[in-house]
Structure 1
């Protein structure tokens, strides 16, 4: 009760902010319902309905309320057009409907002067069978339509304010106009209230669904971003072992250098020692980086110290896939040469991920693994035929294709994936490499799947 005076004092300001606006979304709420995209389609039947109401309302205003044909067309046209405009500007359309009702009131009051309504409710003088003003059939339908479209677009509070103002204005306008009883009034009030309640409920449901869709899209984006970060962390942990191995070799070789020279100079000893210290410091920093990137689920001791795989273990990988029931054939072309450990590791992981994806998404298919050694680098192609049986789609974004793409991009290579004409799937990666003799030319472009 203490806040009631403050609420009443702020009521004019609230009504002005809510209802004195020409915007499409007067309440400014986010998550507009998606049915608004269909407004051009909805406007077609609504326009036909407005034309029918124009004819009925013109006859009512011109002959029942004696406004004359021109004013009757003007009043009826304004109300009919406002019904279509309410799809785009609900508040101005509602105000138009309300102002037409107020403007017609003097004509209706003058037309009903001298009418007599006996107990059966039929006018015996003046306008025979005159409608109950202001909510006769055409008018109540038009106002109900405007309020419904308004309630679909605004907050329930604004819809309730518009309903109260409409009812109060209607009662005031109809106070001086005789009516044949209160039946029509009660029915009109029931129609208006029901329309606003249903419109507000449907509008809230539409906004809730839209916000749910937006939230699901954001969740999917966050999940994809988290998956990307997890995969990059995993790749970084694997590359740590490769880099650490090289730095360890550098440290050992720097320590051995002075012993390979007879009577090494002091400058040679100092430079070799500086190289060894820098290598040790680099190893320390690498361990710190690995500590930052470590998984929430730490690896076992055996997995932590296991060497990173290379293409030398390809036969073991293919053997495991065949043991799981996958028909795999391997083709190696080109002259095999020593490749950087990062390229070997990435090639192995790409084949591993491709085989895992085939077992999950294409059970019973035949797989062909092709390894091509080229002067510019390494080509990895894994192709599977169509699955022999359907499998349920997996929810969420996996690490397979994402990890392949990240590994290829890390090396400056390319990755092409996509379905094949026979219903299978193909993964092709071009991994540029630096040979033992020095740098090579740019990688050949990845072939695209037709």
Structure 2
């Protein structure tokens, strides 16, 4: 219930407490102080006692200075008014310990204790063991306030760290989704473009082949839309209590379907697998699939060749991927401005601590190699 009280309400409560304290101080001072000096002492005593309470949240250090000055003045004026200064200083000292930085909090504690001890020397009218009572009161109140302040600062730091981590997670997720969308769109549009161009060439002379090209365009388009729907469904903020109809995340098990699409685009792909296949973690499996997909998409777009080779090597603790062709070999990964596809493949490999290399071959063609580590907890399929 305390957390539901707004800061403005706390300020209003401080104002009411200050008014109540001022009324009590007025009654006590008016009863104690007599003679002509009462017209100066009573107003100043009321202000010195009540004003710090009203200012303790907005100006804690200023409020502490006023309260401390009021305490010293009360010691010098009247014995029965000591309690006014003590309570006012203690009330404000708690706020200083909670709201101010540790150096300021320790400094104010030292000043309060020094004032409490110094006013006990001869010449200061005191009631019995008042200095001891002041020291115990100020120390206890300050300790409680400092503990509360440390807890609040620690909690605030935790919340700020969580906010930074959440922001970084959102950024990472956006980058991942951007890579996914790039892979889906680049692959799908490349196949569609090639098939559309081929269909336009043969539609008059070979209508059956043109019809097959249109079928391949339809199939590729539907699959690309399904994957895009899956990715965009992650970004939807509305209630998913019924669960979105999302396509499963692709992996190396879907390579046969991918190779059929690439073959439909005019590039025959030879797939070779060495070593016992391993059951990969979903993230590594997806990254491996996307690397192969993007590499073959680049073959369709840039290599101007009708064949390519994909080699998967399952080692004891890593998966090696190689995609090579005998095409033009004009696209290089170490150029001044590599394409988004190569950058995405490199990021996917480095994300899991792997390696990536792409370059033209001396005899012609282009080769992409990537290595993804396989954690030892995985087991052969």
Q: Which has the higher helix share?
A: 2
TM-score, with structure 2 as normaliser = 0.50
TM-score, with structure 1 as normaliser = 0.43
